Structure 1
Amino acid sequence: MADPTVPTSDGTENAKNHFTKAMEEAKAGAQALADEYRGKFNKTTGEWSDEAKTRSDEAKGKANAFAADAKVKATEYANEGKARTSKAIVGLSKAIDENVGLIDEKVGAKYGDYARNASKSMQDAATKLDEKTLDELGEDAREFVRKSPGLAVGMAVAAGFVFGRMFKGK
């Protein structure tokens, strides 16, 4: 009786035949697909058939519509983010204002003045943020990077670190 764990030459030959047959079928399918698409291109004129042109135009139209929708959505999200950021800055400024008296009492009027100045600066920044369009904010960011590339990279690294810590899996 033969050992079932030892392959026989018949089993190997059978597997090779199946593999060869599958490869031939795959090649034939690929060739048929290539022939179908070659039929849509006229080598003499160097142009695609009307069907190919129509499908191409339809695909371009769908891609353009998708891109336009994506741009509208991105703009909506950016405006929403801008509004939320401004609201958060104002909220933080109000929290500082509410605690300025306590700061004056506990650590001194000098530090209370620092807190008032910081709160005022934050309110001014929120107002400027509300008044500017996304294009203006983008141009301001580009100008900041041009003037202070080292600081911009440092801020990006710090923001990445903070976001990494915030979203780090527990």
Structure 2
Amino acid sequence: MDTSATAPTSGRAEAKTRFNAALAEAKAGAAALRTEASDRAAAYRSQARTQSENWVGEARNYGAQAKGKAGELATDGKGKVAEALSALGRAVLDTAPTVDEKLGAKYGDYARTASRSLQDASARLDARTVDELSDDARELVRKSPALAVGIAAVGGFLLARLFRSSKD
């Protein structure tokens, strides 16, 4: 019998079997790697989502703190402006008799009227909340934007002059 003819056929079959087994093992390894990569990606996504939520929570907390502090500062500033207007009104009223003597009673009356206006403005400012004042400012800008730009320009000019004179 010729065993040489069956040997190459059985060698091929064995090689084919081994190749198919190696191929199946490679496919299983690739599937395992794909599953592991998918699991790791899901874990990283979850970690990133959690970290993102933590950062958003911290940012909201800082925002709330900043808003509270800004509200406190605005209220303090409003109080100081009201006090300054009141003090200016008192100073103008105190100088009214001198104005009467030097320029006449008519100009002294102007000074008294200006003093009352300053005192009234101080009282109105003190009686209103910061939110009401900001609503009024928004409404002013909405109704007459040119006036708002003019006021901002004059205020900016005065601040520039103030800071320039304090630098010199």
TM-score (norm 1): 0.70
Aligned twin of 2:48: 52
Q: SS state of the match for residue 90, structure 1?
A: helix
Runs (5+) with no aligned partner, structure 2: 1-38
Please tell me the root mean square deviation across aligned C-alpha atoms, in Å.
2.0
Structure with more of its chain in helix, by fraction:
2
Contact kept, 8 Å, 1:40 with 1:52, in 2: the verdict is no
Aligned twin of 1:134: 130
CA distance in 1, matches of 2:109, 2:40: 77
Distance 1:123 1:40, change over 3 A: farther
Aligned twin of 1:115: 111
Runs (5+) with no aligned partner, structure 1: 1-38
Q: SS state of the match for residue 55, structure 2?
A: helix
Which residues of 2 match residues 30-69 of structure 1 at below 5 A? 41-42=41-42, 49-69=45-65
Instruction: Spell out, residue by residue over 1:109-157, the C-alpha distance to the aligned partner (whole angstroms, 9 max, x if none).
Output: 1111111111101111111111111111011112222333222211111
Percent sequence identity is 46
Distance 1:103 1:41, change over 3 A: farther
Which residues of 2 match residues 89-100 of structure 1 at below 5 A? 89-100=85-96
CA distance in 1, matches of 2:150, 2:40: 55
Corresponding residue to 1:166 among 158, 162, 165: 162
**TM-fit CA distance, 1:40:** 6.7
Distance 1:133 1:40, change over 3 A: farther
Aligned twin of 1:157: 153
1:96 is aligned with what amino acid?
V
Work out which of the two has the higher radius of gyration on C-alpha atoms and give 1 or 2: 2
